[in-house]
Amino acid sequence: MKCPPLKITILGTGTSSGVPMIACSCAVCTSTDSKDKRYRCSILVESSTTTIVVDTGPDFRSQMLMAGVKKLDAVCITHHHKDHIAGLDDVKAFCYFQEQPMTVYATPLTQDAIRREFAYVFDKQKYPGVPDIRLELLTEQPFMIGNIPVTPIRVWHLRMPVMGFRFGDFTYITDANQIEDDQFDKIKGTHTLVLNALRHEKHISHFTLNQALEVAEQLDVPDAYFTHISHQLGKHADVGATLPLNRYLAYDGLQLFFP
């Protein structure tokens, strides 16, 4: 499946608490650097005709306004933790203006959670103004959204399966601490990888920064950006200065282009 030229916008790079974290007065949370202000993780994938969002966390509304998104064709959900689905209700604006349901791709586990968390959306007698959501089964099989080919990549978040996604020369993986060999093969050949790197200290279900660097080296990707960053990792400028060539901390609003 040939991929058209893409623009990727990083909408959020923070961990589940966001940065700054509520009630925290650490150096990162009180930083004046805009790159230390991190919404919950999400990306926007755009071709000339198709627009996709990966994850609708608690900051989804603000992210859509920040990026000036006027049209949205589909949502892909990595997994059902609240920091990745809590803002799903706000797709109702797109349903209203586009006069059609919003297609949401999710695994059976995530679909079950969405039906529980947003039960009112699926009532037979719908309250006026609720979003019109059409759930589509997300498996490990590649598929198309508009003119954009999507390759799902299953990773592990401790014992929870999480879906990463490859769009042409770009691969996005968040909330992972293990990638099996058969899924590694799906990533190989990627030009740019965005991968979670929570903090320096070991974590039960997320890659540390050093582990994320090792994954990027194993895959031999030309460029790697790190996301799902907690305030424990340190300031953007300080950490960025320590990274190897072509390895970067992602930040909210970062745009990447793939011809």
**Tell me: the pLDDT tens digits for 167-184?**
999 999 999 999 999 999
Angle at 21 between CA 16 and CA 25, to 5 degrees: 155
- pLDDT reported for residue 20: 98
Predicted confidence (pLDDT) at residue 241 exceeds the cutoff of 90: yes
DSSP 42-86: EEEEE-SS-EEEE---TTHHHHHHHHT-----EEE-S--SHHHHT
- pLDDT reported for residue 125: 83
The answer to whether the CB of 200 falls within 8 A of the CB of 176 is no
Say if strands 255-258 and 6-12 run parallel, antiparallel, or are unpaired.
antiparallel
Domain boundaries, the chain: 6-258
Helix or strand (DSSP H, E) at 216? helix 209-219
Burial of 232 (0-12, 13-18, 19+ CB in 10 A): middle
Predicted confidence (pLDDT) at residue 24 exceeds the cutoff of 90: yes
* 126: confidence class by pLDDT, cuts 50, 70, 90: confident
- pLDDT reported for residue 206: 97
Predicted confidence (pLDDT) at residue 1 exceeds the cutoff of 80: no
Is 110 strand, coil or helix? helix
DSSP state of 19: B
- pLDDT reported for residue 127: 82
Q: Per-residue pLDDT tens for 52-75? A: 999 999 999 999 999 999 999 999
Average pLDDT, the chain: 97
The answer to whether the CB of 236 falls within 8 A of the CB of 251 is yes
- pLDDT reported for residue 129: 87
Angle at 35 between CA 32 and CA 41, to 5 degrees: 130
The answer to whether the CB of 102 falls within 8 A of the CB of 72 is yes
Q: Per-residue pLDDT tens for 8-23? A: 999 999 999 999 999 9
Q: Per-residue pLDDT tens for 135-157? A: 999 999 999 999 999 999 999 99
* CATH C-level class of 6-258: alpha beta
